[in-house]
Amino acid sequence: MHASEAEKAWDRVRSSLRESAGARLFEQWLKPIELIPSDDEESIRLALPSAFMTNWVRNHYADRLALEFRQILPQVRTVQIETRRPGPKPVLLVMPTPAEIPDRTTAAAAVEPAQVPVKFGVDPSLKPAPAAQPAPAYDTIIPERPPLDPRYTFDRFVVDASNKVAFNAAKVLAEPGPVRFSPLFLHSNTGQGKTHLMHAIGHTFLAANPHAVVLCMSAERFMYDFVAAMRARDTHAFKRRLRGADLLLIDDLQFIAGKDATQEEFFHTINEIMTAGKRLVISADRCPQALEGVESRIISRMAVGLVADIKAPDLLLRRTILDRKLVDLPDLRVPTDVLDLIASRIHANIRELEGALNRVIAYAQLTGETIDLEFAIATLGEVLRGAQKRVTIDEIQKLVTAHFELKPLDMISARRARAVARPRQIAMYLAKRLTTRSLPEIGRKFGGRDHSTVIHAVRKITELRDQDRDIDAAVRVLMRELEG
């Protein structure tokens, strides 16, 4: 295509993204995208300044970018998102031909009253088919998530008491040999590891059975494909494709709630899979009995297998996850206090936790600044404020005195005995970590002490946490209680 044609399309796409994403997100992640000139009429190349930004845009906006370009330039089949400096190979997004994409509005009206947005599969190993080739038959369309995400393996999953049952159940189901239970139903709030475990099951199962048929898709993709098959009057191919799987992975079951026609087909599909003794894994954001709008017979089938929940990660697990993530970045140094800050403040889910670390690293690479506590606080300002529980210095002092069996007056007294001074230093350390109060303000709350005393206390406790297991354990317990 002519360069001017691609540039005009890109201007329109950018305008659409700016309007839908909002100013803050657009400025931080989407505005830096640049269009790379190309002579290929079927391909669009986009570039970002760092690998972290590239990965973020791929994960969050690859499908959207492809659809936006396809609406303006129908001949476009692929969108490549790459890094301007040397880095990982660009992701190649294969666009379905018009014959593969049913009219979403018409299809939804024909079967379900309200459909969720369409998602297309991303496969870095696929190459775009020549334009002259006819559209593939419906039953040869690539499932939503092949190949499985290479990052999501059992080895990379951090295990503790909150997810141990789900982890062990996933490993058992992935093992070769007779199926010990099916289905496996995983449930937790968003971003706590369900998808990671599902992909890990797929990796392990395929490693032992290289020729097995594994399908991994979201419930909304199941719904969309079913609507497409009905519109194409080819439901037989749809059924053959899913029921022929040796391992079927369905994510986010809650999205078919209230969709009667989809639930009918879903029930028959899982019934066939289970009757044939094959493996089935389903995830949702709540336990089966709490899934409103899902038919009771589907819930009953879920109860036949094993239901495993994943609880919210505690402080220790969040900190371990950050350490594990840094193993993949051996040349990068992130100070301990920065990791402690992120782990203590971001506790909604693991995805937000890793996102906060990625943001700090990306900003440091883009600005050339050194990562330290002040830089992390400035970079994550609104994130920390949004995630932080409002902890007061009074609450900290009250909890510390109770924990160490002291009197409230000991927090503000001049006593220097270690039995009093050390808990007081811990309280100052927690006040610096868990509140937004300045050093002078913290000092005043501890009997009018100078800000340098607070600095000394923070440094001393930071040092002792690496040397004294009892001090470290006490700090962890106190932080956990203060987080609620």
Question: What is the tens place of the pLDDT at every residue in 296-316?
Answer: 999 998 888 899 999 888 888
Distance, in Å, from the CA atom of 21 to the CA atom of 14, rounded to the nearest integer, reads: 10
Higher pLDDT: 459 or 28? It is 459
Residue where a domain terminates, one of 274, 309, 344:
309
Same domain, 381 and 398: no
12: its two tokens: 């329109």
Distance, in Å, from the CA atom of 89 to the CA atom of 71, rounded to the nearest integer, reads: 26
This prediction's pTM: 0.54
Q: Kindly report the number of other CB atoms within 10 A of residue 348's CB atom.
A: 15
Same domain, 330 and 288: no
Query: Which residue in 148, 142, 41 sits closest to 100, CA to CA?
Result: 142
Whether the per-residue pLDDT at 86 is higher than 80: the answer is: no
∠ CA(120), CA(124), CA(125), 5° rounding? 115
Query: Under a CB-based contact definition with an 8 Å cutoff, are residues 100 and 68 in contact?
Result: no
Query: Under a CB-based contact definition with an 8 Å cutoff, are residues 401 and 433 in contact?
Result: no
Same domain, 356 and 444: no
Residue where a domain terminates, one of 275, 309, 343:
309
Write down the pLDDT at residue 201.
Answer: 95
Q: Which residues contact 375 (CB under 8 A, 6 or more apart)?
A: 360, 363, 364, 369
Same domain, 364 and 453: no
Q: Is residue 115 part of a domain?
A: no
Same domain, 178 and 219: yes
- In the chain, the N- to C-terminal Cα span, in Å, equals 58
Same domain, 294 and 417: no
Same domain, 305 and 320: no
Write down the pLDDT at residue 183.
Answer: 92
Higher pLDDT: 120 or 207? It is 207
Query: Which residue in 380, 381, 391 sits closest to 354, CA to CA?
Result: 380
Same domain, 254 and 402: no
Distance, in Å, from the CA atom of 473 to the CA atom of 111, rounded to the nearest integer, reads: 57
Residue 213's Cβ-count burial label (10 Å; 0-12, 13-18, 19+) is middle
427: its two tokens: 């309280």
Distance, in Å, from the CA atom of 212 to the CA atom of 183, rounded to the nearest integer, reads: 18
Q: Is residue 118 part of a domain?
A: no
206: its two tokens: 């395929």
Q: Is residue 280 part of a domain?
A: yes
Strands laid side by side in the 43-48 sheet? 34-36, 43-48, 78-83, 91-94
For residues 25-63, b (16+ Cβ closer than 10 Å) or e, as one string?
Answer: ebeebbeebebeeeeeebbbbbbbbbbbbbbbbbeebbb
Same domain, 259 and 378: no
460: its two tokens: 């001393």
Q: Is residue 350 part of a domain?
A: yes
Same domain, 181 and 252: yes
Query: Which residue in 442, 409, 439, 413 sits closest to 427, CA to CA?
Result: 442
Cα within 13 Å of Cα(289), Cβ side: 5
pLDDT tens for each residue of 374-430: 899 888 887 776 655 578 899 999 999 999 999 989 999 888 899 999 999 999 999
Whether the per-residue pLDDT at 102 is higher than 70: the answer is: no
Same domain, 275 and 329: no
Specify the CATH number for the domain of residue 446.
Answer: 1.10.1750.10
Residue where a domain terminates, one of 387, 421, 444:
387
Specify the CATH number for the domain of residue 166.
Answer: 3.40.50.300
174: its two tokens: 């992935």
Q: Is residue 7 part of a domain?
A: yes
pLDDT tens for each residue of 238-268: 888 888 899 999 999 988 888 888 899 999 9
98: its two tokens: 């018009």
Share of the chain above pLDDT 70, in %: 84
Map tokens 């005043």 to a residue. Answer: 444
Q: Kindly report the number of other CB atoms within 10 A of residue 257's CB atom.
A: 15
Residue 194 among known ligand-binding residues: yes
Q: Is residue 162 part of a domain?
A: yes
Total tally of structural domains belonging to the chain: 4
Domain that holds residue 136: 130-309
Specify the CATH number for the domain of residue 77.
Answer: 3.30.300.180
466: its two tokens: 């690496």
Write down the pLDDT at residue 2.
Answer: 58
Whether the per-residue pLDDT at 364 is higher than 80: the answer is: yes
Ramachandran region of residue 176, left (φ > 0), alpha (ψ -120 to 50) or beta?
A: beta
Mean pLDDT score, 109-136: 41
Mean pLDDT score, 323-340: 86
Mean pLDDT score, 112-133: 42
Same domain, 190 and 257: yes
Alpha-carbon 413 to chain mean position: 47
Q: Is residue 120 part of a domain?
A: no
Q: Is residue 411 part of a domain?
A: yes
Residue 193 among known ligand-binding residues: yes
